[in-house]
């Protein structure tokens, strides 16, 4: 089916206590792995294009591949810009057919973050495209941050309310203890802080970045507290590389790159399926491509009514 926007998807997640996986993809095999997983799991999915993917594949090619694969399946697919770097890039993505944008002004002073986020929202909303913004900073594991440094960058709940009111953003990426690009799953989220943020902005879907390093229990706790979109990149890249290594060994004498790449694609698919089940998004799409009605209370039921 044609691409959809992230608006309905994230509100369905907010209402029904599941989260939509937002998976980064840099090439055809990664995109295929993600889409095949979503189709088999009957799950909505967000395919997102990072700054690195834009440098590697180019904006139009990255967008074009996602649009084509979305047409081949009957589950809702969103094409999202990840960590949009400035106003101009967001506008280029709007023109290229992205159905969800992000302006990441988290490194800017508060007032500058507000001003540019507001500008992006204004233009995107004219054509019905939702915008994710970021407040607080989700750090990078290469910076070897201490616990205190991670804490110091976390989102302030009162500021979050002011930010959302002034910008009109549709979803908000929050810093609650995760760090980008961790290679093992050791991060524990601050659920109390997350709940304090949710109390301030109960109607705004919250987004978790740096999710490859988050412990399974933390995801399960965070979803009933408003996390509706979970970004996963490193964990999929690890699976892709593992598949390539194994494929190159297994087919050491072959000149056919597809043999190793197919193993990579399969690994990505399996990892995405695992996350979709964990996030509670598996099975929420019915056979006609819509959200099941009446909505199934996925996570809250499984978790013993966490609210
Ligand atoms: O924006 C993308 C993500 O936040 C991915 O983070 O590589 O730690 O999974 P990750
Ligand atoms: Zn991120």
For the chain, the average pLDDT equals 95
pLDDT at 172 (0 to 100): 99
82 noted as active-site residue: yes
Instruction: Report the nearest atom of ligand 1 relative to the CA of 212.
Output: 9
Ligand nearest to the CA of 186: 1
SS3 9: helix
- Give the separation between CA 24 and CA 81, rounded to whole angstroms: 10
Q: Is pLDDT above 50 for 306?
A: no
pLDDT at 301 (0 to 100): 45
pLDDT band, residue 295 (cuts 50/70/90) = low
Mean pLDDT in residue range 110-122:
98
For ligand 1, atom 4: residue with the closest CA: 209
Q: Is pLDDT above 60 for 299?
A: no
pLDDT band, residue 290 (cuts 50/70/90) = very high
Mean pLDDT in residue range 200-227:
98
Tokens for 196? 């304090």
* CB of 233 sitting under 6 A from ligand 1: yes
Question: Beta-strand (E) ranges in the chain?
Answer: 20-24, 45-49, 77-81, 101-103, 131-135, 171-174, 206-208, 227-232
* CB of 209 sitting under 6 A from ligand 1: yes
Q: Is pLDDT above 60 for 161?
A: yes
C-alpha of residue 256 to centroid of ligand 2, in Å:
34
The pTM of this model reads 0.95
What is the per-residue pLDDT across 74-104, written as a single tens digit (0 to 9) for each? 999 999 999 999 999 999 999 999 999 999 9
C-alpha of residue 181 to centroid of ligand 1, in Å:
6
- Give the separation between CA 303 and CA 307, rounded to whole angstroms: 9
Q: Is pLDDT above 90 for 166?
A: yes
Percent of the chain with pLDDT over 70: 95
Mean pLDDT in residue range 62-74:
98
Mean pLDDT in residue range 190-216:
98
Instruction: Report the nearest atom of ligand 1 relative to the CA of 208.
Output: 4
pLDDT at 303 (0 to 100): 47
Mean pLDDT in residue range 60-78:
98
C-alpha of residue 181 to centroid of ligand 2, in Å:
9
pLDDT band, residue 297 (cuts 50/70/90) = low
pLDDT at 300 (0 to 100): 45
From the candidates 74, 82, 143, 156, which is the catalytic residue? 82
Query: Please, what sign has the CA dihedral across residues 7, 11, 14, 17?
Result: negative
C-alpha of residue 209 to centroid of ligand 1, in Å:
5
* CB of 212 sitting under 6 A from ligand 1: yes
* CB of 231 sitting under 6 A from ligand 1: yes
* CB of 83 sitting under 6 A from ligand 1: yes
Instruction: Report the nearest atom of ligand 1 relative to the CA of 179.
Output: 8
Mean pLDDT in residue range 114-119:
98
- CA 5 from centre of chain: 13
């Amino acid at each position: 089916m044609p691409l959809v926007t992230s608006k309905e998807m994230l509100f369905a997640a907010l209402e029904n206590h599941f989260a939509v996986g937002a998976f980064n993809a840099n090439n055809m095999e990664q995109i295929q792995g993600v889409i095949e997983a979503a189709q088999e799991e009957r799950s909505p999915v967000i395919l997102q294009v990072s700054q690195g993917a834009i440098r590697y594949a180019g904006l139009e090619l990255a967008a074009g591949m996602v649009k084509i694969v979305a047409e081949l399946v009957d589950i809702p697919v969103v094409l999202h810009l990840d960590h949009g770097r400035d106003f101009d890039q967001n506008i280029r993505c709007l023109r290229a057919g992205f159905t969800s944008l992000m302006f990441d002004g988290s490194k800017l002073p508060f007032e500058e973050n507000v001003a540019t986020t507001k500008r992006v929202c204004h233009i995107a909303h004219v054509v019905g495209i939702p915008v994710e913004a970021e407040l607080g900073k989700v750090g990078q594991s290469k910076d070897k941050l201490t616990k205190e440094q991670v804490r110091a960058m976390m989102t302030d709940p009162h500021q979050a309310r002011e930010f959302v009111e002034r910008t009109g953003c549709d979803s908000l990426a929050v810093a609650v203890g995760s760090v980008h690009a961790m290679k093992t799953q050791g991060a524990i989220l601050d659920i109390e802080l997350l709940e304090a943020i949710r109390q301030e902005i109960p109607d705004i879907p919250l987004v978790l970045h740096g999710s490859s390093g988050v412990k399974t229990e933390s995801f399960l706790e965070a979803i009933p507290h408003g996390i509706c979109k979970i970004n996963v990149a490193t964990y999929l890249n690890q699976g892709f590389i593992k598949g390539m290594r194994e494929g190159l060994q297994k087919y050491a004498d072959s000149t056919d790159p597809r043999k190793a790449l197919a193993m990579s694609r399969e690994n990505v698919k399996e990892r995405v399926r695992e996350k979709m089940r964990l996030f509670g998004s598996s099975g929420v799409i019915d056979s006609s491509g819509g959200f099941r009605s009446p909505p199934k209370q996925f996570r809250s039921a499984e978790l013993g009514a966490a609210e």
